[in-house]
Each structure stands twice: as C-alpha cells, then as structure tokens.
Amino acid sequence: MYQVFVAEDETLIRQSIRNTIQQMQGPFSLCGEAADGEIALAMMQELLPDILLTDIRMPFLDGFGLIRHIKARMPWLKVIIISGYGDFGFAQQAITLGVDQYLLKPVRQAELIRAIETVAAQIEQEKKQAPLPDGYDRDEVREALRQQFLQRLLYGGADTGALLEQAAGLQLDLVRSHYLAAVGYLDSLDVDPRRLRQAVDKALAGAENTLFFFQAPDQLALLACDNDPEALDERIYQQIGILRHELQALCPVTTWVISGAVQRLGAISEAVRMASYLLKQAGAVSAGQVINISDGPQVTAELVSYQGIFGEDFLRKLQRAAPDEVPALLEQALDEPGGRFDSLLMRYQALVELMKLAVQLVSQRSPGADPRETAAQVAGDTDILSAAARRDTFRAAAEELLQRALSLRQEGRGEPKPSPVVLRAGQYVAENFCDPNISLISVAHHVGMSPAHFSTVFSQAMGHSFISHLTALRIERAKTLLATTGMKLSDIAMEIGYNEPNYFSHVFRKVEGMTPKEYRASHQAQ
C-alpha cells in the first residue's frame, strides 16, 4: 500500500485531489492532508507517507520549505508538485530539491493519476534494483582510520587532545557543547554484515553531525553532536526513524536505547557503555522499542533482566514467536548437545524458569495485574514436579506453558500502563481537543519533550499515533452532538476543532463508515 499525503491550502483543490486518490484503482491510500506546510511537516513526521503531493504557495511554510525539511527526515519520500507557477526558476528549484513530478494547475484527473502511478512504479523499481553498491566510495585506508578513531571515541582509550587531533586529520568536526549516543540491536535475519553496513551507510548519508560504528555485526552505535540539546534530541530520534524505515526489509525488528546527553568528548564512552548495558537487558522484553535512559522510572519498571538456562537468543526469538512456532523453538533449545536436560533437577529448574518467563510475557500487557493470578492462568493444571520426572512429559509441559502464555498475550489481557508524561499529555488533549490549534508540537511542548521524542513515547505507550488519538476524541464528541442536537454540520465541525466542514465529513466517514448526515438520521430516528 502506498501512503499519500496532500499539502494544499485551497480547499476545493485539496478536495478534488482527495477524491481522485480515493477513486484510484490499486494500492493507494490517503493517509493525511493539511492546509499549510507547517502542519503538514508535523503530521508527516508521524504518518511517514510514501508520496507527497504539495502546492508551492502555502501559508506559514511554503512547498519548497516543506520539501527541504521533510526530505531531510524521510529521504525515501517521492514528491509531486502541483502548482500554478510554471516559470523556469520554480522548476529549477524543484529539480534541486529532488522533486519527482511537476504538474501545473489546473491538473486533470488522468494526469494526476498518471503522475502518482509513475512515482509508485519508481518505488517498486528501486526495491527490485540492487539497493546497495558493491563497494565503498571512500578510500579503504581512510575508512579503516575512521573506524579506528570511532572505536577509541565510543569505547575509550585516548585523551581529549588525541581525539581532537585525530578528528581534525580525518576532517571530522566534533567540537560541540553536547553529545548524544544511541545503541541499536538490528535483528538482521542472517543478512550479510557487509550488506547491512552498506544499507546503514546509505540511510545516514549526509546526516548532519552524526557518526556510526558497528559494535558487532548486529549492533550499531550512533553518535550525534550539537550546541542545542533540544535539537540534538530531535535529530537522534529522526535518524533512528530513518534507519528503522530504510532497514525494514533487512531488519524487521530493531531495538534502540538512547543515552543521556554528555558535554565532554571523554564522557561519550561511558554514555555508550550504559546504553549498551541497558540494550542487553531490554532486548528480550522490549524488542522493537525505542528507549530513552532519561525516561527514568518507566524504563526501570519495564526492563526485566533475565539471565537463565535458555539464554538471550532464545528469549529474543520467544518474544516474537506465535503459539504454533513454540515446538520448533523448544526443539532447538532442548536438543542441544551435552545432555544437560537428562538430570531431573535440571528439568525441574528449566520448567520453573519457563513458568517465570511465561508469566513475564503475559504481564507485559498488564503490569498492574496480580502475578499470582497470571501464574495460575499460565500453569493451568500443569504439575511441574511431576512433569519434570520424564523427558517426554517435561517437553510436553514446557511446550504447553509457552503456548498458553503466548495465546494469553495475543488475546490482550490489558495494555501497559502509560508513563506519567503520557498520562499528562492525555489529560491535556482530553481538555483541549476542540481547540483547532492543538497539535503534536503544542502537546509535546506542554509536557516538555521534543515532538519526535513525544511522538515515539506516545505511540509506544498508547498503541496508536497521536493523530489517531486526537481524531478519535473529536469524532466521539461529534457523534454525541449529531445524535442529541440539531446543530449544523459546519457548527459541529468548528465545535470539535475542524475549521473546514468538508474535511470533518471526510474524517467522520473514514472513521465511522458513514457520513455525519447518515449517522444523525440513524440515531435521531431511534
């Protein structure tokens, strides 16, 4: 499915584009729209579309500004300009910004469809092509020196003077007031490490003041520096977002830990060490998440260190497994050479550990639940001591425990309790969702976070995006007004924070499957 976003300040034109996309045959979906570039920029960072349709002349932030900022965050984005300005200067600037199609108003429906299908075909072609070059562009000797320098910088082994001298020789400008590190585990599905490295190199090409280093074939360290701590925090989240998107085909699951900011080059190695340690603890229970050390108590509560019989690799696989995958996973874990499960005591200890792990897996969805109640549900009528008596009953009991735990987890016994920051944001949104000026940026500012950090934390805690949450609140209020009052649709739209009735009707129909008029008729007739 190709997600399309529309940025256009003229209501009728935007409505026409919206209708065209909705009528198109094939895997195309309108994921969002905005009447100015500033709102579009905030929304797109959350929605991550594949294709952008934008005007040039828009209030607050024009089309060229939007393209410049959003392409820095989403290099994969395909851009189609729809403009009333056809002079050479505009076309030349569009080419400089990497625009894929340039259409002149008034644009015919067939022409717009052809342009969208053309850029979609380009996306498919890029997927089919070898995504990475066979060799590196850099000189091999220079690259080896650069990697040696990064190893010393990220893991210690040199004083500040020596680091600065070596950085200058490599033309790396690292003199900044703040530094931030992130360490990621890349579940690369046995991809050639050289190919994975090339993919990372490509994804971060041109990234401002950012360095990366592979600690292991599947573990990546990032280092960003800036004089503005807030901008630094924003950038590291954006670059992690780009990596997760660009590496998705090679690494379906990536887990990240972001260190606290430090103000000295010599302190970077300690920040990386702490992030690496936390990643090791988080890998089994928080796979696919972005964790910030500064999140404090929430991180401590969520990260459970498990050093047991089966090892971290087993836990990572179990974290992503479905119930029907348990037999093969256990077969690999229990049939290792050495016969250590020939002992009754070892089998008993293994079942006890599996029981604890099973309870932990289920409890991730409902951390407030009574662990004894959870354990009773997982154990059922299994007698661990009796099951450990023989190898066949031991294996059957192990499989039953894990399958039951994963089934309970899939049923969703409750969502994780949101952090205080998310609760405060939720209360603020609940009190202000009718304000047309409320946005991801304004709520992030209210809770003291950067928009990128807040977007990640909110989505992970709530299970849906900020835009989806805001839309749900507005539509629920609209349903109440439609069913209980005779207010005009335009007044209801204004009442819940939408300045344009047509857009309100579009969103309502998308959420409820019927128009506001149809909803009112069906509920007021009851």
CATH of the domain at 466: 1.10.10.60
Mean pLDDT of 256-262: 87
Crossing angle for the helix pair 391-411 and 344-363, to the nearest 10 degrees: 0
Amino acid identity, position 178: H
For tokens 């060799």, the residue is: 135
Cα separation, 261 vs 235, whole angstroms = 13
Which among 303, 301, 328 has a CA at the least distance from the CA of 317? 328
Residue 274: which domain range? 140-302
Q: Which residue has the higher pLDDT, 443 or 358?
A: 443
Please give the structure tokens belonging to residue 214: 């592979």
Cα separation, 479 vs 523, whole angstroms = 9
The answer to the question of residue 133 being in a domain is no
Q: Which residue has the higher pLDDT, 181 or 275?
A: 181
The answer to whether 382 and 400 have CB atoms below 8 angstroms apart is yes
Beta bridge partners of 311: none
Q: Going by C-beta distance under 8 Å and a sequence separation of 6 or more, which residues neighbour residue 363?
A: 369, 371, 374
Q: Is 513 left (phi over 0), alpha (psi -120 to 50) or beta?
A: left
Please give the structure tokens belonging to residue 522: 């069906």
* Summary mean pLDDT of the chain: 79
Report pLDDT digits (tens) over 318-372: 777 777 888 888 887 777 544 567 666 567 677 877 887 777 777 666 555 566 6
| Count of C-beta atoms within a 10 Å radius of residue 464 | 12
The answer to whether 52 and 73 have CB atoms below 8 angstroms apart is no
| Same structural domain, 225 and 366 | no
| Same structural domain, 335 and 478 | no
Cα separation, 389 vs 368, whole angstroms = 35
Q: Is the pLDDT of residue 465 over 90?
A: no
| Same structural domain, 230 and 294 | yes
Amino acid identity, position 129: Q
The answer to whether 32 and 47 have CB atoms below 8 angstroms apart is yes
Q: Which of 128, 158, 192 is the last residue of a domain?
A: 128
Comparing 77-91, 176-190, 363-377, 481-495, the range with the smallest average pLDDT is: 363-377
| Same structural domain, 363 and 232 | no
Q: What one-character-per-residue DSSP string does 202-264 give?
A: HHTTT-TTEEEEEEETTEEEEEEEES-HHHHHHHHHHHHHHHHHHTTTT-SEEEEEEPPPBSS
| Same structural domain, 298 and 162 | yes
Q: Which of 411, 430, 453 is the last residue of a domain?
A: 411
The answer to the question of residue 381 being in a domain is yes
User: The domain that contains 57 carries what CATH number?
Assistant: 3.40.50.2300
The answer to whether 385 and 355 have CB atoms below 8 angstroms apart is no
For tokens 């909110």, the residue is: 458
Report pLDDT digits (tens) over 273-318: 888 877 776 654 566 778 887 654 444 444 443 345 676 667 767 7
Mean pLDDT of 34-43: 86
Please give the structure tokens belonging to residue 357: 């792990």
For residue 266, the model assigns a pLDDT of 83
Q: Is the bond preceding residue 106 a cis peptide, omega within 30 degrees?
A: yes
pTM across the whole model: 0.51
For residue 431, the model assigns a pLDDT of 93
| Same structural domain, 399 and 468 | no
The number of folded domains in the chain is: 4
Is the torsion defined by CA of 23, 26, 31, 34 positive or negative? negative
